[in-house]
Amino acid sequence: MTFDLRTHHYNKEGKVIRETPYRLVVDQEKGPRYERPPYSGKWYAADGTLLKDESAEIEAQKAKEAETLAAKQAADEAAAKAKLKEELKAELLQEQAEQKAGSNGTRTKN
């Protein structure tokens, strides 16, 4: 048995029914290694045997990156809300000051 190098699988009518891409890495010391699907962490030898399964580590790394990204987005949103709140607060104080100044200036003595 050898590693299946086909990436496109066809039905009887000649239409592609499935794609199974792989990534080939050739080391001078170890020879060719195949990863299917690409960037999954599952490495196979030329004879089709599983050499290494790093998929759990890769999934953990992806989850950590997603968590970090979500935390960064939450922090950015919180900072944007705080900035907007401060801007609105300053605008309200300015309007109140203008109203106070305007109401004092319109009084007339009869």
pLDDT tens-digit series, residues 5-52: 889 999 999 999 999 999 999 988 888 999 998 988 888 988 888 888
Q: Which residue has the tokens 């060719």?
A: 32
**What global pTM score does this model have?**
0.49
- The whole-angstrom separation of Cα 46 and Cα 70 is 40
Nearest to 22 by CA among 10, 11, 2, 6: 6
Give buried/exposed letters for 64-91 (b at 16+ CB in 10 A, else e): eeeeeeeeeeeeeeeeeeeeeeeeeeee
